[in-house]
Amino acid sequence: MPAMRPLALSLALAVALVSPALAGVKIGVVTSASGPIALVGIPQKNTVPLLPKTAGGETIEYISLDDASDPTATVTAFKKLVLEDKVDAIIGPSGSPNALGVIGFAAENGVPMLAPVGSASAVLPMDAKKKWVFKTTQNDGLVADLLVSHMVKTGVKTVGFIGTSDAYGDTWAKVLKDAAKAKGIAVVAEERFTRQDTSLMAQGLKITSKSPDAVLIGAPGSSSVLPETTLVDVGYHGKIYQTHGAALQEFLKLGGRKVEGTILAGSGMLVLDEIPDWNPAKKIAVDYIAAYQKLYGVKPATFGANVLDAGLLLEQAIPDALKQGKPGTPEFRAGLRDALEATKELVGAQGVYNMTPEDHSGFDVRGLELLTVSGGQFHLLK
């Protein structure tokens, strides 16, 4: 059958290209490098070459897959990594719904999963499945508490919310309501928009008409800009808060003068010059940013650092896990999970991790800084 030959050949080629080297620890990475949340996934995928190459004397091999922001593809990618490539742990996926869809599968197969997603629902409430999941970002609730505390301190009584029509906006609407309720602030407006909307005038007017003392914008990446510039344009004069989704250079560039005075919570990565040198995270962040910039010519968004920290967590856990078994065995994976859970004072690019059986996000407020924008730059809020 001559007609079959090219097909067979290409299949052989495919096998040759994907069949991994035999030695060492295998880590799968699943990111959304295309599709609607590509702006989160691309810096994460780009960070993979910067991850630790060895740990405990074993080489680490990374197998990186793109789920195109689609939860179905995330499940397929996880199954491929676990069943086919027999990875020892997985970093990813980028999106919260994508993560929720694979937790069950990761747990059933006993594969530790390091999810760089914001939504706390990936690790809370802790149960038999979620004990396999570790989160390398601050819990959204923690960030919200910090922002709301600042609101209280500055006399804010009412707050409006505008967020994206996706999982990110959903989560933030919820954590804001919880945090605000606890601190006695009323949420007087809740508006939504989609990233591709060309005008947010109507949402801006609606919020302004309720005259809240402050507005929180819950949107990832550059989609956080348009709500804020619109609010300024329609003459809103209150305080404007952003989530760590806005913590990227792009925000300053797109927003220009209109985002001056914004208050946001984010990791110290953005204000390295103002972080004292004794802060251990500073060196890691400086090195990471320099390496990333060298490779891609741009500075990474903080989403990328979430993946870097996942790699650092694994780097520290692998030597302990090796005592439990060889890479590729269930014992090794279980050991990896236990070691990750026992992480103490690990310094990442975004702060210091301390895991406990109850808390798999491991960040406390120390990893977070309140920032503001002035003179076209992020600065620590003094």
Partner 1 sequence: MRRLLASPVTGIAAAVAALGLMSALLTPYQLTLANNIGLASLTVLGLVLLTGVAGMTSFGQAAFVGVGAYSAAVIATVPAANLPPGLSLLAGSPLGGLLLGLVATVIVASVLGAVTLRLSGHYLPLGTIAWGLSFYYLFGTTELFGGFGGISDIPALHLAGLTFSDAASLYWLIWGAVILAVLVTANLLDSRSGRAIRSLRGGQLMAESMGVNTFSAKMTAFLVAALFAAVAGWLYAYTQRFVAAAPFGTQAGIDFLFMALIGGVNRVPGAIIGAGVVVVLREWLQDVLPHLFGRTGNFETIVFGLAIVVILQKTPTGIAGALARLVPKRLWRPQARRRAVGELPRRYMPLPGEVVLEADSITRRFGGLVANNEVSLSVASGEILALIGPNGAGKSTLFNQLSAVDRPTSGEVRFLGRRIHGLTARSLAANGLARTFQHVRLIRGMSVLENAAVGAHTRGRNGVLASMLRLDRAEEARLLAEAAHQLSRVGLGDQLAIKAGSLALGQHRLVEIARALASDPCVLLLDEPAAGLRFQEKQALARLLRQLKAEGMAILLVEHDMDFVMGLADRIVVIDFGETIAAGTPEEIRVNPAVIEAYLGGAE
Partner 2 sequence: MNGQIALMLGQDGMTSGAIYALLALSIILVFSVTRILLVPQGEFVTFSALTMAAMQSGRPVRLGVLVFGLALVALAMDIVAERQRHRRWTVPRTSLALAAHGLFVVGLGLSVPFDHLGLLVQIGFALLTVVPLGPLIYRVFFQPIASAPSLVLLMVAIAVHVALIGGGLLIFGPEGARTEPFSDSVVQLGPAIIASQTLWVIGVSAALTVALWLFFETSLWGKALRAAAFNRLGAELVGISPVFAGRTSMTLAALIGAVSGIVVAPITTIYYDSGFLISLKGFVGAIIGAMSSYPVAALGALMVGQAESFSTFWASSYKEIIVFTLLLPVLLWRSLRQPSVGDDE
Catalog residues that contact partner 1 under the rule CB under 8 A: 10-11, 13-14, 17-18, 33-36, 38, 42, 45-46, 64-66, 68-72, 75-76, 79-80, 82-84, 95-98, 100-104, 119, 121, 165-167, 169-171, 192, 194
234 binds partner 2 per the rule CB under 8 A:
yes
Asked whether 342 and 231 are in contact (CB, 8 A), the reply is no
Q: Which residues contact 296 (CB under 8 A, 6 or more apart)?
A: 46
Amino acid present at 361: S
**In terms of CB distance, is 116 or 348 closer to partner 2?**
116
Give, as ranges, the residues between 260 and 299 that touch partner 2 (CB under 8 A). Answer: none
Does residue 166 interact with partner 2 by CB under 8 A? no
For β-strands 369-374 and 377-380, DSSP reports them as antiparallel
Q: Which range, of 89-97, 197-205, 359-367, 374-382, touches partner 2 by CB under 8 A?
A: 197-205
What number of CA atoms fall less than 13 Å from residue 197's CA on the CB side? 20
Pick the binder of partner 2 from 126, 187, 188, 205 (CB under 8 A): 205
Rounded Cα distance, 50 and 123, in Å = 26
Find all residues with CB under 8 Å of 63, minimum gap 6, and list them: 20, 26, 27, 28, 29, 81, 85, 87
Do the beta carbons of residue 152 and residue 185 sit within 8 Å?
yes
Question: Which residue, 206 or 379, has its beta carbon nearer to partner 2?
Answer: 206
If binding means CB under 8 A, how many residues of this protein chain bind partner 2?
Answer: 32
Q: How far apart are CA 119 and CA 116, in angstroms?
A: 9
Contact between 156 and 368 (Cβ < 8 Å): no
Q: Which is nearer to partner 1, 17 or 22 (CB)?
A: 17
Q: Which is nearer to partner 1, 33 or 156 (CB)?
A: 33
Using CB under 8 A as the binding rule, whether residue 215 contacts partner 2 is answered as: no
Q: Is the peptide bond before 300 cis (omega within 30 degrees of 0)?
A: no
Under the binding rule (CB under 8 A), the answer on residue 231 touching partner 2 is no
The SS3 call for residue 168 is helix
| Residues numbered 27-56 forming contacts with partner 2, rule: CB under 8 A | 34, 36, 38-39, 42
Binding residues for partner 2 (CB under 8 A)? 34, 36, 38-39, 42, 165, 191-199, 201-203, 205-206, 209, 221-223, 225-226, 233-235, 250, 253-254
